[in-house]
Amino acid sequence: MQTKTFLGIVTVFAALMLAFPNYAHIFYPSNDNKEVVIVNASDIQTVTFDVKGMTCNGCASHVENDVNKLPGIVKVDAIYEEATAKVEFDQTKVSLAQIEEAINGTGYKVVGKK
């Protein structure tokens, strides 16, 4: 196991894993083409979730991608530097608990909301 080939494979693998934040967006496609029908503007609510564990843009994209799968989501903006996910949603179609469950389902943890 201590051959030059094995060392080369391990080195390439380590380099790919270290560079993951730079290419993670490939695995989380954009949801910009999502169609949202708003019946009543007063039903739209914006909540900022404090999310523990995000360390890169890939983490933020993972949160945005999973929350966008829920019905009634208008916009999601996760920022790993601030450890927040700002979610704009139709409260008649999705609840705060469902959004929190989706965020927690990514492996990161909601520690508060505003």
Q: 45 forms bridges with which residues in the sheet?
A: 89
Residue 41: give the domain boundaries.
Answer: 4-113
Number of residues assigned to the chain: 114
Report the predicted TM-score, pTM, of the whole model to 2 decimal places: 0.71
Tell me the per-residue pLDDT of 5-39, one tens digit each, with 9 for 90 and over.
Answer: 888 999 999 998 888 878 777 776 665 556 666 66
Q: Give 18's contacts (C-beta < 8 A, 6+ positions apart).
A: none
- The domain total for the chain is 1
CATH number of the domain enclosing 105: 3.30.70.100
Closest CA to 55 of 78, 26, 75, 74: 78
Q: Give the model's pLDDT for residue 87.
A: 95
Closest CA to 63 of 19, 114, 24: 24
